[in-house]
């Protein structure tokens, strides 16, 4: 798409693009290039000399059981966060869409958690499940269930999934509600006149019509779970116990800054870069398809 009418001259536009290009170069291209470059070297821990090792960092990573475990953790975590927050979001949106009056009120009541930082969401749920003082863990203990997410990996995983999905419901709710409200009421009414029940209509008409938005949300939520949940993990578990909640982006941080293993951290950055690239391409393919619907 291009404008037919435009202004003449090239100095002004170059000047106008310059700030964004400059910032992109200094804080984006140069660091990304550095990440790729560093991934081919093995620095000694004191930073005195570096040795070119080619793809050894990658080879080492892909045979490192901790890294592969982190891969698996990330997959479980991101699928669980996406599915649960999208499921609850869709459920609430479907209910709100049934209302003639009041959908707006519920929208206001449901969307504000979008504004809560993942790290703060982590603190809220940590407080609730704190082993000594948490209300939830108190009642779980009273029921005879031994809650200790600081020691038990599966409980820690459950807690970070819960905290990450909780803050994400509003986003999914909003998109699903917009999608539902865009479906012409006449289609639904026609099906209702033919005697289709609510669930029948939902399964065979509404869901298929929502599939583009569902797919879009799936990609966006996976990207969210991959990167934006860093704060949740850091506040609640710091990747533990025994690395059971160390997702890939957390490992880049802990290997790079905590263990100072710069070559490995850079190689991990490059792998993540490729993953984000793939997800972005998938997302844009989807947008193109949607335009030509």
Partner 1 sequence: MVEKKKSGYWLTHLGLILGVLFIFFPVWLTFVASTVTQDAIIQPPLPLLPGSEFFENYANALFRGAPEGYGAKVPVMKMMINSAIMAIGITVGKIIISLLSAFAFVYFRFPFRNICFWLIFITLMLPVEVRIVPTYEVVANLNLLNSYTGLIFPLIASATATFLFRQFFMTIPDEMVEAARMDGCKPMRFFIDILVPISKTNIAALFVILFIFGWNQYLWPLLMTTDPDMKTIVMAIDAMIPTGDDFAHWPTIMATAMLAMVPPIVVVISMQKFFVKGLLESDK
Among positions 28-47, residues that touch partner 1 (CB under 8 A) are 28-32, 34-35, 38
Specify the DSSP class assigned to residue 239.
T
Q: Look at residues 196, 210, 219, 233 and name the one whose alpha carbon lies nearest to residue 278.
A: 219
- Backbone φ, ψ for residue 182 (5° rounding): -85, -10
Q: Are 245 and 159 in contact (CB under 8 A)?
A: no
The binder of partner 1 chosen from 58, 60, 158, 227 (CB under 8 A)? 227
Q: State yes or no: residue 171 binds partner 1 (CB under 8 A).
A: yes
- Backbone φ, ψ for residue 244 (5° rounding): -70, -15
Cα–Cα distance, 86 to 93 (Å, whole number): 10
**Residue length, the chain?**
293
Q: State yes or no: residue 19 binds partner 1 (CB under 8 A).
A: yes
The binder of partner 1 chosen from 175, 206, 237, 254 (CB under 8 A)? 175
Residue 68 vs 258, nearer CB to partner 1: 258
- How many CA atoms, within 13 angstroms, populate the side-chain half-sphere of residue 146? 4
| Shortest Å distance, C-beta 121 to partner 1 | 8
Q: State yes or no: residue 138 binds partner 1 (CB under 8 A).
A: yes
| Per-residue contact flags (x/-) with partner 1 for residues 241 to 260, judged by CB under 8 A | --------x--xx--xx---
Residue 69 vs 174, nearer CB to partner 1: 174
Tell me, by CB under 8 A, how many residues bind partner 1: 104
Helix, strand, or coil (residue 42):
strand
Q: Please list every residue from 62 through 121 that binds partner 1, using CB under 8 A.
A: 88, 91-92, 95-100, 102, 106-121
The binder of partner 1 chosen from 70, 82, 170, 245 (CB under 8 A)? 170
Token pair for residue 67? 């890294």
Q: State yes or no: residue 185 binds partner 1 (CB under 8 A).
A: yes
């Amino acid at each position: 798409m291009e404008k037919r009418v435009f202004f003449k001259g090239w100095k002004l536009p170059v000047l106008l693009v310059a700030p964004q290009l400059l910032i992109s170069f200094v804080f984006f291209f140069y660091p990304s290039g550095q990440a790729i470059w560093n991934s081919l070297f093995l620095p000694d821990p004191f930073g005195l000399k570096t040795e070119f090792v080619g793809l050894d960092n990658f080879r080492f990573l892909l045979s490192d059981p901790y890294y592969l475990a982190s891969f698996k953790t990330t997959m479980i975590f991101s699928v669980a966060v996406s599915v649960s927050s999208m499921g609850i979001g869709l459920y609430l949106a479907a209910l709100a869409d049934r209302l003639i009056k009041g959908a707006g009120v519920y929208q206001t009541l449901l969307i504000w958690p979008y504004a809560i930082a993942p790290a703060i969401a982590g603190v809220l749920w940590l407080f609730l499940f704190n082993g000594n003082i948490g209300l939830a863990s108190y009642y779980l203990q009273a029921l005879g269930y031994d809650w200790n997410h600081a020691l038990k990996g599966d409980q820690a995983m459950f807690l970070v999934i819960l905290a990450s999905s909780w803050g994400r419901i509003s986003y999914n709710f909003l998109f699903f509600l917009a999608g539902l409200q865009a479906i012409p009421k006449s289609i639904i009414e026609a099906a209702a006149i033919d005697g289709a029940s609510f669930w029948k209509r939902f399964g065979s008409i509404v869901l298929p019509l929502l599939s583009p938005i569902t797919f879009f949300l799936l990609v966006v939520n996976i990207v969210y779970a991959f990167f934006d949940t860093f704060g949740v993990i850091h506040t609640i578990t710091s990747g533990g116990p025994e690395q059971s909640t160390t997702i890939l982006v957390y490992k880049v941080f802990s290997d790079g800054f905590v263990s100072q293993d710069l070559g490995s951290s850079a190689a991990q950055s490059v792998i993540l870069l490729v993953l984000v690239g793939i997800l972005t391409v998938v997302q844009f393919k989807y947008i193109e398809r949607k335009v030509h619907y």
